[in-house]
Amino acid sequence: MNNRCNDDSTEWISECNDSRFAMGCNDDDLAMERNERKQQANEHDVDQLIEHDIDQWIEHEVDQSMMGSRNADEIDDPRIPVTIVTGFLGAGKTTLLNHLLTSDHGQKIAVIVNEFGEVGIDHELIIGAEDEIIEMNNGCICCTVRGDLVKIALQLLDRKFGMNERAYHFDRIVIETTGLADPGPVIQTFLAEDLLAQFFKMDAVITLVDACHAHLHLHQGPEAQAQIAFADILLLNKSDLVNMEQLTALEARLRHMNVSAPIYHTCQSTLDIRYVLDVNAFDLSHKLDIRPNLLHAHHHHHHHEDHVRSIVLQDERPMHLQKINQFMDEWLINHAEDTYRYKGIIHVDQVDRRVVFQGVHMMLGINTDRNWRDDELRLTRIVIIGKNLDEVWFQQRFADCIAESTESAL
């Protein structure tokens, strides 16, 4: 983390302490608060939820808030906070998620990850022992899988309050959208679906911006712009890759697109988590200014630009290291501009460890991580997202990388 990040965080913490709720609690207050909560909860549609669990939940929430460990605004709102993490392909969303999951906050986070591409890689790259990661890979969260999102959210509710065997007492939900998602419909799902609106509240839409590539992305269709416009908090990430002048120019551009969201400079999406969790920053009126019909369900027919698509390269046979290197060299020389984002896990011949690589345009990172486990299939899987991709070329060059011994043995 650079100095800028540190400066920001000190400033914020003092603000944050000022606004924290501190209140002496006596038994009458507690009893009154509990009754009020119960009344609210009984008004909810609790068909599938067990009342006893709701009682416990309310009790817990009231105790928490009376003890002063929550923001003042939350005293009146016991709903489960939802954070949407958005940002163009490769901006640093998964990096932020890992930072949130490994930070010391004592909360259990249910994570919903939606990836663009037929197969997911992110679940392999997210670190989270206690936390549950739910993947949605059957399409883009803002178009085809909104029904799935509602279903997943309701299942999570059932696991938190219900008699479901797979009980899971999470404290909050974080949703990572695909880099090509318009966050509008995801927000809408939580606001316009009655049952979800009763149990969940939006905490914030956090948009990551890749300081190094934003100038390319802002020209690539409306998604990157919508993500910035809808943000409650903007993280200008990868600030290590640009100079101060470029950072200031980009910040001015973001400010022009979104006048109200605080903008924080980050490296590796790292900042004090109190910038981003339990911030109560969601500003509905701001969203309605951008999209007046946001609350009207089913208004939105979003089409990604057709020239943006994903390719999956996959094979169980081990890969030849030098050939893979050569393939990537050629790829970056000839296709870097058009490959927005790529991620992969490679099974390299004679290597017991997984080789993990990922990149954004020319920026490629590659490393070996853990050993393959005995019980897992050693599968090479690469997902490439880009525009005007020549799939035949990629599939052919990938096939050329299969280690020869295996190739002739088959």
Ligand X SMILES: Nc1nc2c(ncn2[C@@H]2O[C@H](COP(=O)(O)OP(=O)(O)OP(=O)(O)O)[C@@H](O)[C@H]2O)c(=O)[nH]1
Contacts with ligand X by CB under 6 A lie at 87, 89-95, 122, 179, 237-238, 240-241, 267-269, 341, 358, 360, 365
Distance CA 14, CA 117 (A): 42
The minimum distance between CB 337 and ligand X, in angstroms, equals: 16
Nearer Cβ to ligand X (95/280): 95
Q: What are phi and psi of 227, to 5 degrees?
A: -60, -40
The minimum distance between CB 343 and ligand X, in angstroms, equals: 7
The minimum distance between CB 196 and ligand X, in angstroms, equals: 24
The minimum distance between CB 178 and ligand X, in angstroms, equals: 6
Write the DSSP string, 164-225: -SS----SEEEEEPPTT--HHHHHHHHHHSHHHHHHEEEEEEEEEEETTTHHHHTTS-SHHH
Torsion of CA 273, 277, 279, 283, to 10 degrees: 130
Alpha-carbon distances, residue 276 vs 48, 187, 271 (angstroms)? 32, 17, 8
The minimum distance between CB 85 and ligand X, in angstroms, equals: 8
Nearer Cβ to ligand X (267/402): 267
Nearer Cβ to ligand X (269/280): 269
The minimum distance between CB 270 and ligand X, in angstroms, equals: 8
Contacts 24+ apart (CB under 8 A), 188-197: 188/294, 188/295, 188/297, 188/300, 189/146, 189/149, 189/150, 190/82, 190/153, 191/284, 191/294, 191/295, 192/295, 192/296, 192/297, 193/150, 193/297, 194/45, 195/44, 195/45, 195/154, 196/150, 196/153, 196/154
The minimum distance between CB 265 and ligand X, in angstroms, equals: 10
Nearer Cβ to ligand X (54/311): 311
Name the nearest CA neighbour of 309 among 122, 126, 178, 148. 178
Q: State whether residue 374 is helix, strand or coil.
A: coil
Contact between residue 340 and residue 385 where contact means Cβ atoms under 8 Å apart: yes
Nearer Cβ to ligand X (65/266): 266
The minimum distance between CB 1 and ligand X, in angstroms, equals: 9
Nearer Cβ to ligand X (83/95): 95
Nearer Cβ to ligand X (176/203): 176
Q: By CB neighbour count within 10 A (0-12 exposed, 13-18 middle, 19+ buried), where does 175 fall?
A: buried
Strand 263-265 with 233-237, pairing: parallel
Query: Which residues lie below 8 Å from residue 255, measured CB to CB, with a gap of 6+?
Result: 263
Nearer Cβ to ligand X (11/240): 240
Q: Which amino acid is at 282?
A: F
The minimum distance between CB 123 and ligand X, in angstroms, equals: 11
Structure tokens at 201: 């509240």
Nearer Cβ to ligand X (112/196): 112
